[in-house]
Structure 1
Amino acid sequence: MSTPPVKLAVGDAAPAFDLETAGGGRISLDELRGAPALIWFYPAANTSLCTRQACDLRDNHRMFLDAGYRVIGISPDPVPELDRFVAEQDLPYTLASDPTHAVMTAYGAWGEKNMYGKLVEGTIRSTFAVDGSGVLTFVKYRVGTPKHIALLQEKLGL
């Protein structure tokens, strides 16, 4: 397996990125400057837990918008799969493709994890809040899908 992942902390600078998005665009950290953003990493579009998490964020999207947050989901999926996910789940926020895992690695969201008792390398479900200056204000690795929204409400004061 690879070396242990980076572990970012509140107060760290968010690693820069520039990725393709569903719908044919691009998203970068520089583009997010000036307002807060919520960046969440998930293993795969159209799988049960990822779909639940995506739909929870969709159903609470107005709460994030009202607080000024832009929501960005990042997975290793190719753009056509992200396009399908957006269409099938009616997702109102940006999904970005990181097929090389470079951005996930920079955020510590790619590495060794235990899946059903077996160690594998993959996406570590993680969520980060970034302020308008590009500084991390919230970091959570190994996010529990059922409690994701409640955790964000508590920690981000939403």
Structure 2
Amino acid sequence: MRVYGVTGWKNTGKTGLMERLVSEISGRGYGVSTIKHAHHGVDVDQPGRDSYRHRAAGAQEVLLASAGRWALMHELRGQAEPSLPDLLARLSPVDLVLVEGFKRGAHPKIEAHRQEAGRDLLAWTEPTVRAVASNVILAGLSVPVFGLDDTRAIADFILQEVGLAV
């Protein structure tokens, strides 16, 4: 599977860019899946729900299924956090997996940047950042710079990078 990341510091527009890219690229007929890395504890389940009760009782995995979707929750219970390659291996094959986060991962990435976030660009020090999407004009970078909201051009760039452009 082809993998491309959207990275950046907190409050720089990563999730909005991800959402627009998924819509743009899937709208062009490509199969797209996503992986979102969270630095904080995350729980997609709610206390009191049956599936939550199964996990609380000690289940290693709980698969929740309905007519519209299914979700597999896997409890680490002290095991190490899985690597990006381990997580990718669990996905069904698609044309492109967009990854939000994993800023130090080996996969190519575009960095979302908002000047008001007040953080230095990862692109200065992170060689896997292949382009920057910013809400301000940036000069002096050795990688392409796109407008943060120029979804079409960013999608074109990513598809070219992963060999899916026609």
Structure (1 or 2) with the greater strand fraction: 1
Which TM-score tier does this pair reach, normalised by the shorter chain?
Answer: 0.3 to 0.5
Q: Which has the larger radius of gyration?
A: 2
TM-score (norm: length of structure 2): 0.34
Q: TM-score, normalised by structure 1?
A: 0.35
